């Protein structure tokens, strides 16, 4: 398959490029060329996505079997790229987010849950949910049934630049008593970036379009299993000290917020980790074992160092107040 990846250097984009190369696809990327050199075997086009004329010049009159777009900011940028590629690709896959659903998310929600408003011509990327919804509208406006809207849940695995698992691995690496957000049997729902990439590429190959919630099956993994498995695969000498949710709330410790277990404005949010993903699995989504995701993330961290935090996401440094952590540990 002849593939164009708009982006391709970070997180899901990098996973898409590497997975496509492993499949034997012919891969072209388009990005600014500033973050990291292109992977061996990739044909790299250079342009700033916000500059439509530069993008048009870089694309020329080339055609591709499929396009995957990872843009997460101003929807106008997605719209302009989608228009430039109209009639030049048989498939347009857009990496979207469950964030396009209106809050609060209903328990067990599927793709039909209410959506936020979005403007496909919008220039503002500060509201992540509205920006992603605007991007969805931009893609479907141009490519219709050829558009795949992959509404990702929590994305983990190598190249994760939000910092969830890297942050936890570094905490566990220090050893000693480590405060953990109870209850340990709280369910988590996530997708490995590489599994999402593989699914999107298979959808591109088969011409699958439409909106899909793309994350793991509900109830398969708990926060306890995630952190205990992290200790097993790394061999760290740390003791997980599980704090009841009520104690964390009373002390103002919002540990677990990084996994959607609780928020300052909503101590027990619904819908975060129990999405109905039957449509994506019926369309061929498969997921790898938790152990593989964590082991490969640790191997990546050791090889490349900690990721640069995303500028549009809260810094992991704000996730836990150390003084508050000590107060809670002293009570357990």
Same domain, 69 and 206: yes
CA proximity to 285, closest of 236, 181, 214: 214
On whether residue 293 sits in a domain, the answer given is: no
Question: At residue 260, does pLDDT exceed 90?
Answer: yes
- Read off the CATH number of the domain in which 206 is found: 3.40.50.720
Same domain, 198 and 94: yes
What would the pLDDT profile of 158-184 be if each residue is shown by its tens digit? 999 888 999 999 999 999 999 999 999
Question: At residue 139, does pLDDT exceed 80?
Answer: yes
Q: Quick one: average pLDDT of 51-67?
A: 98
What would the pLDDT profile of 96-117 be if each residue is shown by its tens digit? 999 999 999 999 999 999 999 9
On whether residue 298 sits in a domain, the answer given is: no
Question: At residue 257, does pLDDT exceed 70?
Answer: yes
On whether residue 321 sits in a domain, the answer given is: yes
On whether residue 31 sits in a domain, the answer given is: yes
Same domain, 71 and 111: yes
On whether residue 292 sits in a domain, the answer given is: no
- Residue 147: in which H helix or E strand, if any? strand 147-152
pLDDT confidence of 320, banded at 50, 70, 90? confident
Domain count, the chain: 2
At residue 310, the pLDDT reads 72
On whether residue 200 sits in a domain, the answer given is: yes
Q: Quick one: average pLDDT of 259-271?
A: 90
What b/e sequence results for 151-183 when a residue is b if at least 16 CB atoms lie within 10 Å of its CB, and e otherwise? bbbbbbbbbbbbbbbbbbbebbeeeeebbbbbe
Same domain, 87 and 13: yes
Same domain, 26 and 146: yes
Same domain, 46 and 84: yes
DSSP per residue over 227-280, as a string?
HHHHHHHH---EEEEEEPHHHHHHTT--TTGGGTS-BTTBSS-SSSS----HHH
DSSP per residue over 80-115, as a string?
HHHHHTTTSBS-EEEEEEGGGBPSSPPTT--TTS-B
On whether residue 302 sits in a domain, the answer given is: no
Same domain, 205 and 249: no
pLDDT confidence of 266, banded at 50, 70, 90? confident
Q: Quick one: average pLDDT of 183-208?
A: 98
At residue 119, the pLDDT reads 98
Same domain, 139 and 209: yes
Same domain, 24 and 51: yes
Same domain, 244 and 197: no
Q: Quick one: average pLDDT of 55-73?
A: 97
Question: At residue 18, does pLDDT exceed 80?
Answer: yes
On whether residue 278 sits in a domain, the answer given is: no
Same domain, 210 and 256: no
At residue 314, the pLDDT reads 67
At residue 324, the pLDDT reads 84
At residue 323, the pLDDT reads 86
pLDDT confidence of 319, banded at 50, 70, 90? confident
Q: Quick one: average pLDDT of 229-243?
A: 97
C-alpha triplet 111, 145, 107: angle, nearest 5°: 0
Among residues of the chain, what percentage have pLDDT more than 70? Answer: 98
Q: Quick one: average pLDDT of 117-123?
A: 98
Same domain, 182 and 318: yes
Give CA separation, 154 vs 89, 190, 261, in Å.
29, 5, 12
Question: At residue 264, does pLDDT exceed 90?
Answer: no
Q: Quick one: average pLDDT of 69-94?
A: 97
Give residue 258's domain range.
164-188+219-272+309-330
């Amino acid at each position: 398959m002849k593939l164009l990846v708009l982006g391709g250097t970070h997180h899901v984009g990098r996973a898409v490029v590497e997975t496509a190369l492993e499949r034997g696809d012919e891969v072209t990327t388009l990005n600014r060329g500033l973050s990291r050199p292109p992977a061996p075997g990739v044909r790299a086009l250079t342009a700033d996505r916000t500059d439509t004329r530069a993008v048009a010049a870089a694309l020329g009159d080339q055609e591709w079997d499929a396009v995957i777009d990872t843009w997460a900011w101003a929807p106008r940028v997605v719209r302009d790229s989608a228009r430039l590629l109209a009639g030049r690709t048989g498939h347009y896959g857009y990496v979207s987010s469950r964030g396009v659903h209106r809050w609060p998310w209903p328990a067990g929600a599927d793709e039909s849950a209410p959506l936020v408003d979005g403007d496909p011509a919008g220039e503002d990327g500060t509201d992540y949910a509205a920006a992603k919804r605007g991007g969805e509208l931009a893609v479907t406006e141009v490519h219709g049934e050829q558009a795949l809207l992959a509404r990702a849940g929590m994305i983990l695995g190598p190249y994760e630049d939000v910092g969830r698992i890297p942050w936890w691995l570094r905490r566990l690496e220090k050893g000693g008593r480590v405060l953990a957000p109870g209850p340990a049997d709280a369910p988590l729902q996530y997708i490995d970036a590489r599994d999402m990439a593989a699914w999107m590429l298979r959808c591109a190959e088969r011409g699958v379009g439409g909106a899909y919630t793309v994350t793991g099956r509900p109830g398969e993994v708990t926060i306890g299993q995630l952190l205990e498995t992290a200790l097993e695969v790394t061999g760290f000498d740390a003791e997980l000290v599980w704090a009841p949710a009520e104690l964390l709330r009373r002390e103002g410790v919002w540990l677990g917020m990084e996994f959607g277990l609780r928020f300052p404005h909503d101590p027990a949010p619904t819908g975060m980790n129990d999405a109905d993903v039957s449509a994506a699995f019926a369309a061929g989504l498969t997921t790898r074992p938790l152990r593989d995701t964590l082991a490969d993330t640790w191997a990546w961290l050791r090889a490349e160092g900690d990721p640069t935090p995303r500028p549009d996401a809260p810094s992991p440094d704000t996730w836990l107040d150390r003084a508050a952590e000590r107060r809670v540990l002293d009570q357990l």
